[in-house]
Structure 1
Amino acid sequence: MNQALRHIGRTLAIALPVVLVLSGTLAVSRVSWVGPADDQMETASAEQQPLTPEDTLRDRLLLTLRQQDPSAALTGLQEAVTRDPSLAPHCAEIAQALGAAAVEKYGSSRRAQQHSRPVCDTSFAAGVAAAG
Structure 2
Amino acid sequence: MTHFAKPLPRRGPARRIGRSLALVLPVVLVLSGTLAVTRVNWSGAHRDSVLTASSASVSSRAAARPVQDVLRDRLLLDLREQDPGTALTHLQQAVDEHPSLARHCVSIARALGRAAVQAYGPTRAQAFARPVCDTSFAAGVAAQQ
Aligned to 1:114: 127
Deviation at 1:47, TM superposition (A): 7.5
Structure 1 CA distance, aligned partners of 2:66 and 2:89? 20
45 and 68 in structure 1: CA distance in 2 versus 1, 3 angstrom threshold: same
Deviation sequence 1:66-117 (CA, Å, 0-9, x none)? 00000000000000000000000000000000000000111x2111000000
| Unpaired runs of at least 5, structure 1 | 1-41
For 1:101, which of 115, 131, 134 is the aligned residue? 115
Structure 2 CA distance, aligned partners of 1:43 and 1:104? 41
Aligned to 1:73: 87
Structure 2 CA distance, aligned partners of 1:130 and 1:48? 35
Structure 1 CA distance, aligned partners of 2:144 and 2:124? 13
Structure 2 CA distance, aligned partners of 1:101 and 1:43? 37
Helix, strand or coil at the partner of 2:59? helix
Q: Could you state the TM-score of these two structures normalised by the residue count of structure 1?
A: 0.63
Aligned to 2:67: 53
Identity of aligned residues (%): 59
Deviation at 1:131, TM superposition (A): 1.1
Aligned to 1:84: 98
Between structure 1 and structure 2, the one with the greater Rg is 2
CA-based RMSD of the aligned residues comes to: 1.9
Deviation at 1:43, TM superposition (A): 8.8
Structure 2 CA distance, aligned partners of 1:129 and 1:105? 14
Count of matched residue positions in the alignment of Structure 1 and Structure 2 = 90
Structure 1 CA distance, aligned partners of 2:113 and 2:100? 22
49 and 70 in structure 1: CA distance in 2 versus 1, 3 angstrom threshold: same
- Which one has the bigger helix percentage? 1
| 4+ residue segments displaced more than 2 Å | 42-50
| Unpaired runs of at least 5, structure 2 | 1-55
